[in-house]
């Protein structure tokens, strides 16, 4: 029960990693604001309620300042403040290369994926710091970046650039929140089965090619949302009380190496 008596906001909580995290936060005693722009927010809140947890749903666009303010105000009104912000909402923006990417598309991807976390920090951090002063315990902000933000090869130019920005934003904001007892970290998922990647996983299952999903990482598989959510919860908890300004890759080992000829376990690949 690491989050007993704690108030948590999760954006992009209508499905995937956000839903998994919201449910786990609630299962560990947290009171959760479930924020998403779809009806999935209501579904996640219902799941939490059915399991005996506490949640309130709110429909927001995570890249709109007034919507982020509404989510923070709801947490203050319902739960007395904010202890944790998990800025998880994001969009893919497709797979077009630089020369085929429309300016409007990259602007929209940056608005949601980078401005969204910026707004989450801007408006949640003061409330988290205030709560930290009042309770004498620290607070945390967790951002969802991506292995695509670490180096090329895991996403489109628009998506990759946005997630690289999220990693830097975690580092900069950790420094600018010095002395507040508010930590900021990012998780960098590899290939994970979410709404964003559903077509890839569905195709692989239908074609009998699931053995090819995630084959470039040493674990040779994709991840499930709960595997990412557990790392987000760790970073948000007091268990990670000395982890700050970091970007943690959760990718089955994909980003641990440059491309090389693979060696199979127990034998040499030809």
Cβ 185 vs Cβ 243: under 8 Å = yes
CA distance 180 to 173: 11
Helices and strands in the chain: count of H runs, count of E runs: 8, 7
Whether 159 sits among the annotated catalytic residues: the reply is yes
The angle at the Cα of 164, spanning 161 to 167, to the nearest 5 degrees, equals: 155
Q: E strand or H helix at 232, and its extent?
A: helix 225-236
CA distance 17 to 87: 11
Q: In this structure, are strands 54-59 and 31-36 parallel, antiparallel, or unpaired?
A: parallel
Q: What share of the chain is helix, strand, coil (3-state, %, to 5)?
A: 45, 15, 40
Backbone dihedral region of 121: left (phi > 0), alpha (psi from -120 to 50 degrees) or beta? alpha
CA distance 169 to 261: 34
Eight-state DSSP code of residue 111: I
Positive or negative, the CA dihedral 131, 185, 114, 249 is negative
Residues whose CB is less than 8 angstroms from the CB of residue 45 and which lie 6 or more positions away in sequence, other chains included:
32, 34, 55, 56, 57
Catalytic residue among 159, 203, 242, 265: 159
Task: Tell me which residues are annotated as active site.
Answer: 159
């Amino acid at each position: 029960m690491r989050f007993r008596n704690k108030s948590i906001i999760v954006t992009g909580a209508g499905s995937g990693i956000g839903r998994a995290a919201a449910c786990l936060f609630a299962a560990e005693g947290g009171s959760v604001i479930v924020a998403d722009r779809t009806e999935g927010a209501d579904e996640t809140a219902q799941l939490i309620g059915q399991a005996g947890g506490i949640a309130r749903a709110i429909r927001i666009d995570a890249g709109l300042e007034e919507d982020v303010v509404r989510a923070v105000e709801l947490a203050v009104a319902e739960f007395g403040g904010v202890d944790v912000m998990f800025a998880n909402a994001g969009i893919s923006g497709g797979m077009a290369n630089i020369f085929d990417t429309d300016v409007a598309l990259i602007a929209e991807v940056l608005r949601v994926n980078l401005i969204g976390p910026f707004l989450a920090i801007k408006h949640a951090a003061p409330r988290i710091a205030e709560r930290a002063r009042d309770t004498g315990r620290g607070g945390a902000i967790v951002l969802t970046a991506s292995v695509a933000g670490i180096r090329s090869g895991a996403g489109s130019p628009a998506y990759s650039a946005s997630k690289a920005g999220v990693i830097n934003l975690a580092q900069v904001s950790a420094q600018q929140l010095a002395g507040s007892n508010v930590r900021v970290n990012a998780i960098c998922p590899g290939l994970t089965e979410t709404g964003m990647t559903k077509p890839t996983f569905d195709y692989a299952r239908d074609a009998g090619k699931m053995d090819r999903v995630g084959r470039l990482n040493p674990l040779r598989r994709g991840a499930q949302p709960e595997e990412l959510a557990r790392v987000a919860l760790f970073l948000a908890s007091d268990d990670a009380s000395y982890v700050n300004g970091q970007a943690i890759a959760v990718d089955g080992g994909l980003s641990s190496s440059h491309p090389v000829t693979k060696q199979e376990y127990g034998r040499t690949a030809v």
